[in-house]
Chains A and B, each alone.
Chain A
């Protein structure tokens, strides 16, 4: 693994090679390993190591980026030359700001952020192929005990991110992550569980397999029921995957581009009173790097309070543009929040560490089921895509454990549905939520999010299984 000291030495070499007004070097990479199983067999088992260095140069308001994964002198020279050549032929960008120095990047005066706790765990970094295989063997044993079939992954990684610039900024982040995803399949049913954590000790693959197997067993012989509007109980991963589709829009650049569903709606009450959301990289259940693509510290940003959209996040240049724009009095507080992507880019920024507030009176999923006269319990959503960008209608399917709930009890499995649902409507119809928990899915970034009971969820079609 690359160290901050090694990266600093490389940055010094790059800086000596650069003739630019300003030079920035991003470092990323590490070691990633993944054991994959299906049909109760490990069928793929991979490991890779890679580190990437990306050089951004600036000449008189012109900027561009070039990257390489080779750090010898010749290739450092090549990547600097490539970055400079690209930058010099750009048009000057009047919105481009000088690179941040350490004071600006670390400052964030007036913010009350927690320090981000270490997200690097030696125990995770030390996970071996043998340890992963042993966990898979236990998962497979459990599946075979029930005459079911297991498929899934167990991955472990150790990674670095760094940002150094010619104004003295030197930021470094290391992290580990372990992830387990398990599908248990029956003849006509399936169940699924997925979890990850920087600390492998927080994962319990066997317990996850037991839950997935129970879902497969309980959803066997699925009944076909008509599509329509149902009360749904979305487990946290399902809630995450669908609501995640709106967070690209909580961006100053998306407002300026008029591609956000929040254009003209900031300050409005869009969702129910019980919806409060913020972005907070320091949350103990969150993961990720505490600084953004320019090296700015990620601030804690309240996005929605009691259903009212309060503000969006900003990269430095976007905040400066917004302050000059026609929207400046209509979008709440405007400041660089540390959510920018590496420059140059066309999308600006987005919140990547979403945290939903736990309601005053949280309910467990079991309590939600008990209070439901007729509804659908959803384990997982799949292949979600945006249908309408301003009404924020998204479509997708249920998958791997979809159940009919009647008179407060789970009655059995049902065939999977297609939904077409407005996220504005959905978050206005949340009747109950659980304690917010760390969840991960397939289509959206990991989140701290509750299970949600939602009325009038719009299923438009049913599929064949």
Chain B
């Protein structure tokens, strides 16, 4: 892709850019859904384009285009420079980038089976088998299933000499059974709600998920919820399954540690953060057993935040976020790291595609598993009175990431160490730091799953991107339960 990248870099620097980078990206995707025995949607897409990001007169400019001709590429680079000069007319100080060594690199998502090598017929056959299993359960009124595959090939070059080629694969699958009866719609999803489980893997992920084997149980649970008792309102010890805890991490740790939010750069839309700079290495974010990392490295696992290099050419890293309950680190970029005195970017800048500006995004923000062996069943057995909540149904948090409320698809009351009854419409709420300080038990590595959140929105224009969150079932003490239905 040098025939695209070099002319762009040349035009940008000749016209006055003190820094420039170019990304050329080719994206391919396949999306299939079924609904009640029929294919709901079937689509494939390809998108190919490039962008130029520059600093001119100490200010940023960015231009992107589908036009990959020599003339188009040079015009796009010139446009980025022109935009920078407009930015420079309203600035307080010049942009400074943390130093980063130029790198020549190659990275590809480890995968066993290229998902695009699997036939669409085989995909549809799987989805319809799942659909059939769900609809075999009387009372199921709507069955939906999905398969998604993505491949993104990216070439990156910068005026500092970096030259990187990456190819990323991701796969996702899931399904939901709905049951409408009386005045209620209940649902159960597997392996997770809102699209299921997603990882940076090939088709082997789909084979690992045991999708068909769980479909009937999930459908039966959806129907059974109509006979379950309403989740009580009050203060309870709660156990969150790992998928719900993954989303809890995403919303109440992942977003507030984004340094662009902390520095006010997202104030108009996504919001700011309660994690002001004075809290770094002073705030007790959680209890002593809370250890959280932001880890983009391959050794962390195949999360949606795993890569070789971020979108400004910084190698993947692991940043300790919370150590034994103490808040220790933010997610940063080359621009933001120096603003807090850090010498190097944490490597978290990513963009949705070729036509979007990279911004700080979560990588794999994960709660490390408990060190002592502890299964979910042992955790339940050690709980005198509490509620186990599984699979997210709703989520909401304020614009500083303090006050949150989550609803789950199903709850189970625990008494004397045993599940005694199913509960419908469970919800819980709290204040972020109070909640994480109430964590008193985390299951161990065998129960830990690296979940994918494929739909994280941020930025203006809004960009949707995937993030990873490792979690094991955990118990929180004295949590407010049931507010979602209070007063209704």
Give the contact-size bracket for chain B. Answer: 35 or more
Q: 8 Å CB contacts to A: which residues of B155-204? A: 178, 180, 183-185
Interface pair A41/B90, CB less than 8 Å apart: yes
Instruction: Report if B82 contacts A (CB, 8 A).
Output: yes
**Interface stretch (choices B399-407, B412-420, B439-447, B464-472):** B399-407
Task: Flag A444-465 by CB within 8 Å of B: 1 or 0 each.
Answer: 0000000000000010111111
User: Which chain B positions have C-beta within 8 A of A93?
Assistant: 38-39
How many Å lie between the Cα of A151 and that of B90 in the bound state? 12
Q: Are A69 and B265 in contact (CB under 8 A)?
A: no
B487 touches A383 (CB 8 A): no
Flag whether A20 is at the interface (Cβ < 8 A). Answer: no
Q: Are B119 and A89 closer than 8 Å at their CB atoms?
A: yes
Answer whether residue B346 sits at the interface, using C-beta atoms and an 8 A cutoff: no
Query: Complex: how many Å from CA A399 to CA B44?
Result: 39
Residue B142 at the A interface, CB < 8 A?
yes
Decide if A397 is an interface residue (CB 8 Å cutoff).
yes
| A185 pairs with B66, CB closer than 8 A | no
Contact B178 A258, beta carbon cutoff 8 Å: yes
Question: Per-residue CB proximity of B93-126 to A under 8 Å, as 1/0?
Answer: 0000000000000000000000000011100100
A47 with B268: CB separation less than 8 A: no
Q: Does A390 contact B (CB under 8 A)?
A: yes
The answer on a CB contact under 8 Å between B485 and A38 is no
CA distance A422 to B44 in the complex (A): 39
Point out which of B39, B396, B400 has the most chain A C-beta atoms below 10 A from its C-beta: B396
Q: Are A133 and B87 in contact (CB under 8 A)?
A: yes
Least Cβ distance of A222 to chain B in Å? 13
A129 touches B183 (CB 8 A): no
* CB atoms of A32 and B461 under 8 A apart: yes
State which of B57-65, B278-286, B316-324 sits at the interface with chain A: B57-65
Contact with B along A137-174 (1 / 0, CB 8 A): 10010000000010111010000000000000000000
- Decide yes or no: A258 and B142 within 8 Å by CB, A67-B43, A185-B267, A345-B41 being known contacts: yes
Residue interface bits A35-57, CB-to-B below 8 A is 1, else 0: 11111111111111111101000
Residue A45 contacts which of B39, B60, B65, B66 (CB distance < 8 angstroms)? B60
- A47 CB contact (under 8 Å) in B83, B142, B178, B407: B83
A129 contacts B83, C-beta separation under 8 Å: yes
A45 pairs with B142, CB closer than 8 A: no
Which residues of B (33-57) have their CB < 8 Å from a CB of A? 33, 35-36, 38-49, 51
Select the stretch in B374-382, B424-432, B448-456 that faces chain A.
B424-432
- In the complex, chain A residues 314-370 whose Cβ is within 8 Å of any chain B Cβ: 344-346
Task: List chain A residues, Cβ under 8 A from B228.
Answer: none
Complex Cα–Cα for A345 and B40 (A):
5
Task: A32 to B405: give the CA distance in the assembly, Å.
Answer: 35
User: Which residues does chain B contribute within 8 Å of A65, judged by CB atoms?
Assistant: 41-44
B18 at the interface (CB under 8 A from A): no
B50 to chain A, nearest CB (A): 10
- Interface pair A89/B264, CB less than 8 Å apart: no
Residues B488 and A393 in contact, CB atoms below 8 Å apart: yes
Stretch touching chain B among A78-86, A201-209, A231-239, A404-412? A78-86
The chain B residue sitting closest to A82, CB to CB, is B44
Q: Are B90 and A89 in contact (CB under 8 A)?
A: no
Q: Mark B369-399, 1 if CB is under 8 A from A, else 0.
A: 0000000000000000000000001111111
Tell me if B82 and A385 are in contact (CB < 8 A): no
| A38–B83 alpha-carbon span in the complex (Å) | 17
Interface size on A, residues (CB 8 A): 101
* Complex Cα gap A272–B91 (Å): 51
Q: How far is the CA of A346 from the CA of B59 in the complex (A)?
A: 45
* Contacting residues, chain A, for B84 (C-beta < 8 A): 45
Q: Name the distance in Å between B406's Cβ and chain A's nearest Cβ.
A: 9
For window 205-261 of A, CB contacts with B under 8 Å fall at 229, 257-259
B45 touches A418 (CB 8 A): no
CB distance from B23 to the nearest CB of A (A): 12
A105: Cβ under 8 A from any B Cβ: no
Main secondary structure, interface of A, reads strand
Contact of B268 among A95, A134, A152, A461 (CB under 8 A): A152
B47 engages A385 (CB within 8 Å): no
> A196 in the interface, Cβ–Cβ < 8 Å?
no
A33 vs B87: C-alpha distance in the bound complex, in angstroms?
13
- Among A49, A54, A192, the one with the most B-chain Cβ atoms within 10 Å of its Cβ is A49
Q: Quick one: which of A40, A83, A129, A442 contacts B92, CB cutoff 8 A?
A: A40
**CB within 8 Å of B: which of A371-397?**
382-391, 393, 395-397
Per the 8 Å Cβ criterion, residues 70-88 of A in contact with B are 70, 75, 78-79, 82-83, 85-87
Residue pair B427, A183 in contact (C-beta under 8 Å) = no
Docked pose: A318 CA to B404 CA in angstroms: 38
Q: Is A106 an interface residue (CB 8 A)?
A: no
- Look across to chain A and name the residue whose beta carbon is closest to the beta carbon of B487: A458
Task: Tell me whether B19 is interfacial, beta carbon within 8 Å.
Answer: no
Q: Which residues of A contact B427 (CB under 8 A)?
A: 387
Cα A349 to Cα B4 with chains together (Å): 41
Say yes or no: A49-B487 contact (C-beta < 8 A), given A151-B264, A395-B394: no
Do B398 and A42 touch across chains, with their CB atoms under 8 A apart? no
A46 and B396 within 8 A (CB): no
Judge whether B396 and A383 touch: CB under 8 Å. Answer: yes
Q: Return A127 CB to nearest CB of chain B, in Å.
A: 11
- Digitize B336-358: 1 where CB-to-A-CB distance is under 8 Å, 0 elsewhere: 00000000000000000001110
Q: Flag B462-488 by CB within 8 Å of A: 1 or 0 each.
A: 000000000000000000000111111
**Contact mask for chain A residues 255-273; partner B; CB cutoff 8 A; 1 contact, 0 none:** 0011100010000000000
Q: Is the CB of B394 within 8 A of A70?
A: no
Query: Do A69 and B264 have beta carbons less than 8 Å apart?
Result: no
Closest chain B CB from A179 CB (angstroms): 10
Q: Which residues of B lie under 8 Å from residue A430 when comparing CB positions?
A: none
Complex Cα–Cα for A132 and B89 (A)? 11
Q: List 14 A-B contacts (CB under 8 A).
A: A34-B460, A40-B92, A45-B62, A46-B461, A50-B47, A69-B46, A70-B46, A83-B44, A132-B86, A140-B90, A151-B267, A153-B269, A395-B396, A399-B398
Known: A37-B90, A68-B46. 17 other contacts (CB 8 A): A32-B461, A33-B83, A40-B90, A44-B359, A45-B59, A50-B64, A50-B355, A54-B45, A69-B48, A133-B87, A149-B264, A153-B460, A388-B488, A420-B486, A421-B488, A464-B400, A465-B400
| List of 10 A-B pairs having minimum Cβ-Cβ separation, nearest first | A346-B40, A129-B86, A463-B403, A258-B180, A48-B64, A151-B267, A48-B355, A64-B42, A133-B86, A67-B45
